[in-house]
Chain A
Amino acid sequence: MRLGLVIDLDVCVGCHACAIACKEWNASGTIGPLSDYQPYGAEPSGVWFNRIRHYEMDEYPNNKTVNFPMSCMHCEDADCVTVCPTGASYKRAEDGIVLIDQDKCMGCNYCSWACPYGARELDRSSGTMKKCTLCVDRIYDQELPVEERQPSCVLTCPAHARMFGDFDDPDSAVSRTVRERGGFPLMPELNYNPTNTYLPPRRKPVIPVDTQPKGGLKESIKQFANKLVRR
């Protein structure tokens, strides 16, 4: 099994609900808490497993805002695991989830240097590195109904921009969607072979901007009068 996420950049509305749901679940999850520093102060900061950036693609009038959620990519060739000197970072053989053993981590930050995606964040209160667990404490929970055995971010997404599944199975929903929509990994040139895959924004017709009807003489006089008369 190779579990991971598909993120649809075409439909993501950038509401940050996935980040909030992630924080809520994982703050009390296996790797929690996710410490906040000055949450109500002047410089609020803290540990998050999921961060959403906002980009603009191309230039007016072809421009488009792309909302860009990012969490751990659960890479096949995860350097964060191989550089770890203590053995705290590991990748599970059975499902490919990359995790950090909080009891072994010495907080040297080296794994975060090796990660190109900024997926790992140091928790300053526990002194250990933390990262997305793919909600490993949800997806195998037999107490939950089958349809809820998914990462919190996927369950909560109001736009259905996130999918969870097994990339090793060619007939899984994620594999099929990636094939049909031309999904891509981020920074493939670094050869980390990330599992999480992004779906590109669809091509949309450009909205014409010069179709306003020309006013004619009557309209021009009206506009001239409007400028003169102070309402």
Chain B
Amino acid sequence: MHPAFSVIFFTVASGAGFGLFSLLFIADFFKLGGGFNQDQLVAGGLIAMGLVVFGLLSSTFHLANPKNAWRAMSRFRTSWLSREGVFAIVFMPLALLYLGSIMFDAPQWLRVGSGFLTAVLAWITVFSTGMIYACLKTIRQWNTPLVPANYLALGYASGSLLLLLGAVIAGLDTTPYIAMSALIMAIAAVLKAIYYFWIRSPGLSPTINTATGLTRAKVKLLDTGHTHGTFLTQEFGFQIARQKAGLLKLVVFAVGFALPGLMMVWVFNQEGGHVAAVVAAVAGILGAAVERWLFFAEARHVVNLYHGAQRC
């Protein structure tokens, strides 16, 4: 699949934003490390919402006819893309209600209630983002429950690193934030490793034989029938060399997981301070972006069987 940068930016930014917001609620509820004060919570919440809004806006850049984008809410009952949009829109007023109840010292039940609902909605929205890809039977690398699991784990991992940065800047006790982030990062890394292992074997995917129905003999493509590239070759023809993919997987684990982990040790030992936390957050998000690029680059759509692939 062609890796579109607007979609990569959208999924990474909005994932981090939703992750940050729901973890912010947990940090607020349990007063982790002493707890953020009002202003810090509101600032963090607004940063999270900013990431989500920027992500959603950038996702419209890959639309060929964005003037109809408002219609994307209309097929909530069948389309995961529609659901994702609706949940993301509903998230906004709820998030504002939560931040407002913090700012204006609303009763505890309103603050906790709206915060909890917002956190759940953030979770559902990121799940929907993953399901946009996981529901496609045409791409075996995507058609697995590991995809929404990866989207959730990586979104929350990026969010937890941003929250840790916030805790360092606010001068809170960082130990609970490091523990939370380390746990989420470990889960995300393991899930990603299982995903990479899982997509290695083709399983029962379609072949050139089932694609042409000529199942009794070897089949090979002689001619694609087009002079130059088509929409199909531009959208689905992208291929990445196995070696390059392997190298990028190393980058995902080294930059996305190992480096933030190392930085967390520094923060825990009270070394490095702000810089270590900044490096951890930037590296985590950069790793997530590389992971997302690879997620598209490694996906092989079955239409490639009509362009010469023997198996997808």
Contact = CB atoms under 8 A, between A and B. Distances in A.
Interface of A: 16, 43-48, 51-59, 62, 65-66, 68, 70, 79, 81-88, 103-110, 112-118, 121-122, 124, 126-128, 184-192, 198, 200-201
A71 to B, nearest CB: 12
Given A47-B231, A58-B217, A189-B204, A66 B225 contact: no
Contacts of B224: 53
Contact of A116 (B66, B82, B206): B206
B139 A87 contact: no
A47 B75 CA distance: 27
Contacts of A114: 136-138
B229 A108 contact: no
Contact of B64 (A87, A128, A201): A128
B301 A59 contact: no
Contacts, number: 183
26 contacts: A52-B225, A53-B225, A54-B221, A54-B222, A55-B214, A58-B217, A59-B217, A59-B218, A79-B137, A79-B138, A83-B78, A83-B81, A104-B68, A106-B63, A108-B64, A109-B62, A113-B138, A113-B301, A116-B206, A116-B211, A117-B303, A117-B306, A187-B211, A189-B210, A190-B206, A200-B214
A134 B12 CA distance: 40
A108 B72 contact: yes
Interface in B176-221: 204, 206, 210-214, 216-221
Given A53-B225, A118-B232, A124-B64, A188 B210 contact: yes
A54 B223 CA distance: 5
What are the nearest 10 A-B pairs in CB distance?
A: A107-B64, A127-B65, A127-B64, A58-B217, A106-B68, A85-B82, A86-B71, A107-B65, A118-B303, A85-B81
A192 B82 CA distance: 21
A87 B218 contact: no
Contacts of B231: 45, 47, 112, 121-122
Which of B65, B69, B78, B303 has the largest number of chain A CB atoms within 10 A? B65
Given A185-B213, A192-B137, 10 more contacts: A48-B230, A58-B218, A83-B78, A84-B75, A86-B72, A103-B68, A109-B64, A127-B63, A189-B204, A190-B302
A90 to B, nearest CB: 10
Contact of B79 (A85, A116, A198): A85
A205 to B, nearest CB: 16
Contacts of A124: 64
A184 B213 contact: yes
B135 interface: yes
Contacts of B65: 105-107, 126-128
Contact of B80 (A51, A53, A83): A83
A87 B71 contact: yes
Contacts of A104: 68, 71
B225 A86 contact: no
A105 B228 CA distance: 26
Nearest to A89: B75
